[in-house]
Amino acid sequence: DFSNLFARDLLPAKNGEEPTIQFLLEVVEILTNYVRKTFDRSTKVLDFHHPHQLLEGMEGFNLELSDQPESLEQILVDCRDTLKYGVRTGHPRFFNQLSSGLDIIGLAGEWLTSTANTNMFTYEIAPVFVLMEQLTLKKMREIIGWTNGDGDGLFSPANMILILYYLASHYSIKKAGAVLGFGKENVILLKTDERGRVIPADLEAKIIDAKQKGYVPLFVNATAGTTVYGAFDPINDIADICEKYNLWLHVDGAWGGGLLMSRKHRHKLSGIERANSVTWNPHKMMGVPLQCSAILVREKGILQGCNSMCAGYLFQPDKQYDVTYDTGDKAIQCGRHVDIFKFWLMWKAKGTIGFEQHIDRCLELSEYLYNKIKNREGYEMVFEGQPQHTNVCFWYIPPSLRGMPHGDKRREKLHMVAPKIKAMMMECGTTMVGYQPQGDKVNFFRMVVSNHAVTKSDIDFLIDEIERLGHD
Ligand code: ABU
Domain residue extents for the chain: 7-88, 118-342
Per-residue pLDDT at 276 exceeds 60: yes
Residue 358, Cα to own-chain centre: how many angstroms? Answer: 16
| pLDDT at residue 159, as a whole number | 56
Q: Is the distance from CB of 275 to CB of 239 less than 8 angstroms?
A: yes
Q: Supply the mean pLDDT for the chain.
A: 95
With a CB cutoff of 8 Å and minimum separation 6, the contacts of 189 are: 167, 168
| Averaged pLDDT for residues 170-185 | 79
| Averaged pLDDT for residues 224-252 | 98
Q: What is the ipTM of this complex?
A: 0.91
Per-residue pLDDT at 212 exceeds 60: yes
- Per-residue pLDDT band at 160 (split at 50, 70, 90): low
Per-residue pLDDT at 257 exceeds 70: yes
Across 54-63, 145-154, 357-366, 423-432, least confident range:
54-63
How do residues 301-331 score in pLDDT, each as one tens digit?
A: 999 998 899 999 999 999 999 999 999 999 9
Per-residue pLDDT at 401 exceeds 90: yes
Per-residue pLDDT at 436 exceeds 50: yes
Pocket test of ligand 1: the residue of 95, 96, 99, 175 to mutate, having most ligand atoms within 8 Å of its CB, is 99
Nearest to 380 by CA among 409, 360, 410: 410
3-state secondary structure of 379: strand
- d(CA 379, CA 373) in angstroms, rounded, equals 6
Pocket lining: 228 vs ligand 1, CB cutoff 6 Å = no
Per-residue pLDDT at 165 exceeds 50: no
Query: To which H or E segment does residue 128 belong?
Result: helix 127-144
Distance linking the first and last C-alpha atoms of the chain? 52
Q: Which atom of ligand 1 is nearest to the CA of 446?
A: 7
Please state the pTM of the whole predicted model. Answer: 0.96
- Per-residue pLDDT band at 169 (split at 50, 70, 90): low
Fold of 118-342: Aspartate Aminotransferase; domain 2 (3.40.640)
In the chain, % of residues over pLDDT 70: 98
Q: Which atom of ligand 1 is nearest to the CA of 98?
A: 6
| pLDDT at residue 440, as a whole number | 95
| Averaged pLDDT for residues 200-207 | 98
Per-residue pLDDT at 166 exceeds 80: no
Specify the residue with its C-alpha closest to ligand 1, atom 3: 98
